[in-house]
Structure 1
Amino acid sequence: MRRWLPRSLQGRLLSLVIGLVLAVWAAAAALTWIDARHELDELLDAHLAQAAALLVAREAADIEEPIDVHAPTLHRYAPRVAFQIFDGGRLVLRSAQAPVEPMASAGGFQTVTVAGTRWRVFTTTGFDGDEQVHVGEQVSSRTSILFALMRSMLWPTLLALPLLAIAAWWAVRHSVNPLRSLSQRLLHRRPDELGPVELQDAPAEVTPLVEALNALFLRIGTLLESERRFTADAAHELRTPIAAIRAQAQVALAASDDATRRHALDATVQGCDRASRLVDQLLTLSRADAELPQAQTVELGELTRLVAADIAPHALAKHQSLALQVPAACSVNGDATLLAVLVRNLLDNAVRYSPASAQVQVAVEQRDGRVHLSVEDSGPGLDEAQRSRLGERFFRVPGIDQSGSGLGWSIVRRIAALHDAEVQVGPSARLTGLAVEVIFPAA
């Protein structure tokens, strides 16, 4: 069906509507023809039987008639009707149109061919059983009557078909006007115009399309805003380490002794490391600003154990103790890469901002149908005002001498939001430092 349908929706609707109307009209005409033919045959057969009964009664009254009767033509179908009366096998009466031989051989209704002409014949016997009456009518006369009847019935509806096609065209064109209006609005929108599309009096079939387009524009707007924010963040944050690297490189070029030159080169390498770490953080944050990829079942306990193994050398270098309490199975739905970044940022913050010989405790457990990831340290902690600002981009706690970009907490909160997780921050009751708990829905 799709091969012959036109490409436009309006053309398809018109083709289907007009095609269905023609099919229904043809089916109705065929059924009307069959029913009218049946009723006409019933009516004319009844007339044949009645005429035969009259002839039988007339023969019983012994009314003498000549053998050949040239009756006057009182109707245009009169020459197509004939009758015969036989008495003891002898033809005693017939009409001018009737042959000499019997028109039928058996009683009742029959359709026979006599001299190349098809007749509908009714045969009956007289009261004494010797007479036989045949009354016939040409089949062509019935067909002519049927054609005349059907012409009078179907001709007006056939004339109405073009009017119906015009009405269907107008109705379909009027119905697709909202789609035409929507296409015109989208055609004339500016590339940076991502506001919702307003379509007045939109039909119920078009409303989901408009809502889907508005949702798409919203996602595109969010993505573009994320890209703009990423560009601004990158330009803002990379300016400082690049300037520091350049300054150290100038110091190395101008240094007259090896110690000063080496110190400047070491500072340059450290600046490059900080810039590389900042770029990684910015890319992670940009990825977290996008939608969550296809969620999979992630074993959070095993993932936390692997991340803790990567962080452990840094903790040992500061003579810190890193304790891990992870059950055998604790699964969540999400993206393993993003979840690893979340855990790594929490552990890195705890190790980085805790003093030497501090304690860091990590636990993963399942309670009340949800999975809890908690990280506690014995560091200096944060006051309420500082905790309230955690998650702001590039916010760093004043007085901290550790290097950082201020993006770690933004990344943690964004990844948690993508996984429908809740982040709670407060003082640690056991270690007196900072306690962070991320609560995930269980897989």
Structure 2
Amino acid sequence: MAVPRRSLSLAKRLVATVLAFVLGVWVLAALVAWFVAQHELNELLDAHLAQTAALLATGQVVSDGDDAVVQAPVLMHKYQSRVAFQIWHEGHLRARSTDAPATPLAPGAQPGLSDQTLSGLSWRVFTAVSGTGTAAKEVIYVGERLSARRHVLVDSLRGTLFSLLLALPLLALAVVRSVRSALRPLRALGDNVAARSPQALAPLAEDQAPPEVRPLVHALNGLFARMADLLASERRFTADAAHELRTPIAAIRMQAQVARGAKDDADRRTALDATVAGCDRATRLVEQLLQLARIDTEETSHGPSNGGARAAGAFAHGPTNDLAAAAAEQAAEVQPQMQRRGQQLSLQRPEHAVPVAMNATLLAVLLRNLLDNASRYSPDGAQVAVTVATPSGASAELTVQDSGPGLADADLQRLGDRFFRVLGTGQSGSGLGWSIVRRLAHVYGLQVTVDRSPDLGGLRVRVVWPAAAEPR
């Protein structure tokens, strides 16, 4: 089994990158300095050669008629063997330095600087001639071995590079300390998060973080907000389930006890029917609680909270589903239930698809709750009308109206509160249906209005999908 490679820490990466960059700059600077220094050194030493030749030309080194060769004294300088001069008078060598050859340093060369090779050695020679043409009597050669120049240049750069290499450990230490100091806010952030308990989801202080770390802090705060919403949703679901399931479960238990103690079959059958009805109510309650939990999860997964409100635009570019087809499907599902009560259901929808940006499951939940409420709280033989339209200025509009008794204005204000039920309807329920509708409208940025139906006289619910969902 291959052992996974451990990645370098951010501090080590920064230190290695900075030092590598510095070394690269130093190498580049050394190369540039080499060529610049070589050029300048050649210019300087060439000038010295010319100046030396001029001094020799003006000196009284030899005299006409003296055939002796004057040799310069030994100066015991380390570069003396690499520098030489010659004075030729009418083709005769009259004076030279100790290490100068007996032949001309630059035979046949024109006055000025030239490169010569003598006995396998490279020389830089300056030639000076006194007189012109046939009147030329004295030729002065001042030469320097090119190896001496390279040696001087190498010695100079070696000293410079040695100083830089000595400074490299100090530079590395300074870089390490600087990087550690710069990364201290990250370590403090990590310690802060590590020391938190699972329930400590308060946001981190973004204004105290460096600008480079603020995006990370902002993302962590968003994560904390979503986690807080999930925890709140779980607590809310647990509290709702404990609150609402207590009564139907107790009723089921009581009816089961009645059935067990019944003396005849009729009483036992009545108690068992009540038990089944209680199970149905408990099942519906659990389904609605799960629907609310699913809505909360869907909302939380699309981004952090913003003062308790959601940016509905986060869902505007999600998957789209056909509202007309979904309405027809849900109407077909509730049709048998309504027929048993003699209720009539009508559906008006366009022939073309009506796409809305909404999760398919939650769209079905919205339609099912609206249809179920319209049927449940309307009397036997009532009419329920469903209309799907695409009005101007909106993406889609869903209208559900019935011929039931409707609601008072005071009840309309509380419609959508969790577990609120209108008294006196004679229908069982938990009051969660409208809470689910309101919650979905909040999540998806839908416009929901409830008023009295002008056509059927009962309740009318209009749900509008805006043409362009924008953050609220």
What TM-score do the two structures reach when normalised by structure 1?
0.89
Q: Shift in Å at residue 168 of structure 1?
A: 2.4
CA contact (8 A) 1:323 1:360 kept: yes
Matched, 1:394 2:419: yes
1:301 is the counterpart of 2:324: yes
1:256 match: secondary structure: coil
The 2-side partners of 1:9 and 1:375 are apart by 60
Is the 1:56–1:127 contact (alpha carbons within 8 Å) kept by the matching residues of 2? no
Equivalent AA in structure 2 for residue 73 of structure 1 = L
Task: Classify 1:199/1:417 alpha carbon distance in 2 versus 1 (closer, same or farther; 3 Å).
Answer: closer
| 1:429 shift after superposition | 2.1
Partner of 1:205: 212
Equivalents in 1 of 2:68, 2:284: separation in Å?
Answer: 128
For residue 298 of structure 2, give the secondary structure of its aligned residue in structure 1. coil
Match of 1:118, SS state, is strand
SS in 2 for 1:381: coil
The 5 A counterparts of 1:19-418 are 19-52=20-53, 66-73=68-75, 76-85=78-87, 91-104=93-106, 106-107=109-110, 109-123=113-127, 127-129=131-133, 133-150=140-157, 157-198=164-205, 201-292=208-299, 295-327=318-350, 328-366=352-390, 367-418=392-443
Q: 1:29 to 1:6 in 2, by over 3 A?
A: farther
* Distance of 2:127 and 2:403 partners within structure 1: 121
- What are the superposed Cα offsets for residues 82-101 of structure 1, whole Å, 9 maximum, x if unpaired? 12355676645433212223
The whole-number CA distance in structure 1 between the counterparts of 2:114 and 2:279 is: 111
Moved more, 429-438 or 12-21: 12-21
CA–CA distance in 1 between the matches of 2:378 and 2:342? 11
Moved more, 85-94 or 357-366: 85-94
Following superposition, the deviation at residue 212 of structure 1 comes to: 1.5
Partner amino acid, structure 1, of 2:340: A
Quote the Cα distance in structure 2 between the aligned partners of 1:133 and 1:440.
Answer: 104
**TM superposition score normalised by structure 2:** 0.84
Deviation, structure 1 residue 163: 3.5
Q: What are the Cα deviations for residues 257-295 of structure 1, in whole angstroms up to 9, with x where unaligned? A: 222222222222222222222111111110011134782
Matches of 1:214 and 1:119, distance apart in 2? 75
Gaps of 5+ in 1: none
Query: 1:345 offset after TM fit, Å?
Result: 0.5
How far the C-alpha of 1:187 sits from its partner, in A, is 1.7
Cα contact 1:194–1:218 (8 A) shared by 2: yes
Inter-partner Cα distance in structure 2 for 1:439 and 1:144: 89
Cα distance in 2 for residues equivalent to 1:341 and 1:65: 126
Task: Measure, in 2, the Cα distance between the counterparts of 1:269 and 1:23.
Answer: 83
Instruction: Give yes or no for contact 1:361–1:376 (8 Å, CA) kept in 2.
Output: yes
Aligned residues: 441
Distance (Å, rounded) in 2 between the aligned partners of 1:4 and 1:373 = 58
* Residue type of the alignment partner of 2:71: V
Find the aligned partners of 1:38 and 1:4 in 2 and give their Cα distance. Answer: 50
Cα deviation, residue 5, structure 1: 10
1:146 maps to a residue whose letter is L
Q: Using the TM superposition, name which of 72-81 and 303-312 deviates more.
A: 72-81
Structure 1 residues 332, 418: CA separation in 2 closer, same or farther (over 3 Å shift)?
A: same
Secondary structure in 1 matching 2:431: coil
| SS at structure 2 position matched to 1:210 | helix
Tell which deviates more after alignment, 51-60 or 404-413.
Answer: 51-60
Q: Is the 8 A contact 2:393 2:466 kept in 1?
A: no
What secondary structure is seen at the aligned counterpart in 2 of 1:291? helix
On the 8 A contact 1:332/1:441 being kept in 2, the answer is: no
Deviates more, 1:115-124 or 1:368-377: 115-124
SS of aligned partner of 1:432: coil
- State, as a whole percentage, how many aligned pairs show the same letter: 52
Per-residue CA distance 1:396-415 (angstroms, 9 max, x = gap):
11012122221111111112
Counterpart of 2:304 in structure 1 is none
State the Cα distance separating 1:199 from its structure 2 match.
6.0
d(CA) in 2 for partners of 1:22, 1:65: 61
Shift of 1:170: 2.7
Query: In the alignment, which residue of structure 2 is the partner of 1:436?
Result: 461
How many angstroms does 1:57 deviate by? 6.9
* Larger deviation, residues 237-246 vs 103-112: 103-112
Q: CA deviation at 1:296?
A: 0.2
Query: Which segment is superposed worse, 394-403 or 24-33?
Result: 24-33
CA–CA distance in 2 between the matches of 1:93 and 1:404?
128
> How far did 1:150 drift?
3.5
What CA distance in whole angstroms lies between the structure 2 residues aligned with 1:29 and 1:5?
36
Shift, 1:380, TM fit:
0.5
Partner amino acid, structure 1, of 2:405: P
Which is further off, 63-72 or 41-50? 63-72
Cα displacement (A) at 1:255: 1.6
SS at match of 1:290: helix
- Name the aligned partner's letter for residue 25 of structure 1: W
Moved more, 270-279 or 195-204: 195-204
